[in-house]
């Protein structure tokens, strides 16, 4: 196993470019596909790209705020003590992998965005604490939790929402009890989590050379405020905890009232607001809060520049009709029994070019759902197959890894070799489950 892993990592290091360069490469792959597969002219593809480019501006800002507010919480002294306590439970590298995998997987189940941030900081702290733990691998372990989908998954939630675009296409709503909370989907979820733990535990033992975490200069601790004999009114406000606490009342009340009225609805905006509220109260003054922001903002640079590039790619995929062409390839090969399996595979393929789950569901979802209804395939299984396919190929698509890579200070090539191993294993397991479901 060591020989195989060493060879595979060498291939990845040699040929996989930085995530930014990979986004550019995939953009031109999509451009060429549009010209030769969808019969579009180069100018038409460029116009599709330009129309899509700004479509993720809002979402990119949401992800920047998610990472920024999460980073601010992680830099607070009380959080550092909490991370020290969690990491102290790991006495060996294997235990470190198991703890990070569990925390990341469970957090991702409840909210995929929270899983990304929580997993990143626990993995970072674990890498700094546990001797002999391969740091790129522990970051890959945290990212593996992204495959798991739960109550915050937009695909089954949209189909369960009255008057949604998908409910109108189907003609009725499909409750989450028929999708997310079926016995077979629970088995899939638990199975993927167990597979994650086993796979990365074995890979950790076979890593040919351990790369230990190295703390970067300027990231070790927030600066200590200097005491002066006399402070101006402005300096007193800037250094007072009460400035933070009074302002923090606003988002705190909003979060409490939102949960009171809507229940425990962990959508992306409310998670960001929760992180913002916690961060405000955990820092002792506006000065330390701003110092944390200064440290955190560097980690967001990949998101800022690359999310719009993928949005342009999404525009080309949608505008050229490539999504319909790819989807129809898989539909043409399907029977009512095999359709969920082919849906899983087609969603995984399209996800490489449209890595936004909600965006992909809006474009590809209607095609697959209409086909399922027309051929009499199992609709709940088709919906969840799409959901799993969308998350599965995230392991070889660094779009969602950007927040973790920003926190870890690593590049995509550092972790993608390990992610590819889990991608293969998870693909085999999930495909096998949908093949088994054909018989039920």
Per-residue b/e over 159-197, b at no fewer than 16 CB within 10 Å?
bbeeeeebbeebeebbebebbbeeeebeebbeebbebbb
Residue 236 lies in a domain: no
Radius of gyration of the chain (CA): 23
Structure-block tokens of residue 427: 């693909």
Half-sphere exposure of 244 (CA within 13 A, CB side): 19
Beta strands in 283-422 (DSSP E): none
Per-residue b/e over 19-56, b at no fewer than 16 CB within 10 Å?
bbebbeebbeebbebbeeebebeeebbeebbebbbebb
Residue 333: the pLDDT is 92
Enclosing H/E stretch for 29: helix 19-36
Q: How many domains does the chain have?
A: 1
Residue 344 lies in a domain: yes
**How far apart (Å, rounded) are the C-alpha atoms in residues 216 and 245?**
31
pLDDT digits (tens, 9 = 90+) for 46-93: 999 999 999 888 888 888 888 888 888 888 888 888 989 999 999 999
Residue 226: the pLDDT is 54
Give the angle subtended at the CA of 286 by the CAs of 282 and 290, to the nearest 5°: 95
Structure-block tokens of residue 168: 């109108």
**How far apart (Å, rounded) are the C-alpha atoms in residues 77 and 238?**
18
Residue 227: the pLDDT is 54
Residue 255 lies in a domain: no
Residue 397: the pLDDT is 87
Task: Provide the 10 A C-beta neighbour count for residue 223.
Answer: 11
Flag residues of the chain having pLDDT under 70.
1, 215-230, 265-266
Residue 240 lies in a domain: no
Residue 217: the pLDDT is 46
Residue 228 lies in a domain: no
Q: Are 127 and 133 in contact (CB under 8 A)?
A: yes
Lookup result for tokens 């095999």: 338
Residue 238 lies in a domain: no
Structural domain of residue 323, as residue ranges?
2-214+298-437
Structure-block tokens of residue 67: 């990472």
Structure-block tokens of residue 214: 């190295």
Give the angle subtended at the CA of 426 by the CAs of 350 and 401, to the nearest 5°: 60
Per-residue b/e over 324-339, b at no fewer than 16 CB within 10 Å?
bebbeebbeebeeeeb
Residue 254, C-beta contacts closer than 8 angstroms, at least 6 positions apart: 273
pTM: 0.84
Chain centroid to CA 190: how far?
18
Lookup result for tokens 């996989």: 16
Helix, strand or coil for residue 153?
A: coil
First to last CA, the chain: 36
Residue 93 lies in a domain: yes
Residue 167 lies in a domain: yes
Residue 38, C-beta contacts closer than 8 angstroms, at least 6 positions apart: 320, 321, 322, 325
């Amino acid at each position: 196993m060591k020989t195989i892993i060493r060879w595979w990592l060498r291939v990845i290091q040699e040929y996989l470019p930085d995530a930014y360069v990979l986004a550019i490469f995939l953009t031109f792959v999509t451009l060429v596909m549009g010209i030769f597969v969808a019969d579009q002219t180069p100018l038409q593809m460029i116009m599709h790209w330009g129309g899509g480019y700004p479509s993720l501006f809002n979402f990119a800002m949401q992800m920047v705020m998610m990472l920024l507010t999460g980073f601010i919480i992680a830099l607070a002294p009380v959080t550092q003590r909490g991370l020290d306590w969690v990491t102290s439970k790991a006495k060996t590298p294997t235990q470190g992998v198991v703890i990070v995998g569990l925390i990341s997987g469970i957090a991702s189940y409840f909210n995929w965005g929270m899983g990304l941030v929580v997993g990143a900081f626990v993995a970072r702290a674990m890498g700094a604490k546990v001797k002999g733990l391969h740091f790129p691998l522990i970051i890959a372990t945290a990212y593996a939790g992204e495959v798991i989908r739960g109550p915050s998954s937009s695909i089954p939630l949209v189909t369960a929402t009255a008057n949604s675009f998908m409910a109108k296409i189907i003609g009725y709503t499909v409750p989450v009890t028929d999708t997310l909370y079926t016995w077979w989907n629970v088995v899939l979820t638990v199975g993927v989590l167990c597979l994650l733990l086993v796979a990365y535990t074995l890979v950790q033992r076979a890593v040919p050379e351990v790369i230990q975490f190295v703390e970067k200069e300027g990231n070790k601790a927030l600066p200590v405020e200097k005491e002066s004999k006399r402070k101006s009114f402005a300096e007193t406000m800037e250094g007072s905890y009460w400035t933070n606490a009074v302002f923090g009342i606003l988002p705190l009340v909003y979060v409490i009232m939102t949960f009171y009225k809507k229940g425990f609805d962990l959508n992306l905006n409310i998670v960001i607001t929760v992180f913002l509220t916690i961060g405000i109260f955990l820092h002792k003054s506006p000065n330390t809060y701003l110092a944390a922001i200064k440290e955190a903002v560097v980690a967001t640079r990949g998101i800022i520049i690359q999310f719009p590039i993928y949005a342009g790619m999404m525009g080309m995929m949608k505008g050229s009709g490539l999504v319909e062409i790819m989807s129809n390839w898989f539909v043409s090969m399907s029977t009512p029994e095999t359709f969920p399996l082919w849906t899983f595979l087609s969603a995984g393929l399209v996800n490489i070019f449209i890595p936004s789950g909600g965006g992909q569901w809006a474009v590809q979802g209607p095609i697959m759902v209409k086909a399922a209804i027309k051929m009499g395939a199992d609709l709940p299984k088709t919906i969840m197959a799409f959901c799993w396919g969308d998350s599965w190929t995230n392991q070889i698509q660094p779009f969602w890894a950007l927040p973790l890579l920003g926190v870890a200070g690593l590049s995509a090539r550092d972790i993608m070799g390990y992610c590819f191993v889990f991608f293969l294993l998870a693909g085999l397991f999930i495909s096998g489950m949908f093949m088994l479901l054909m018989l039920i």
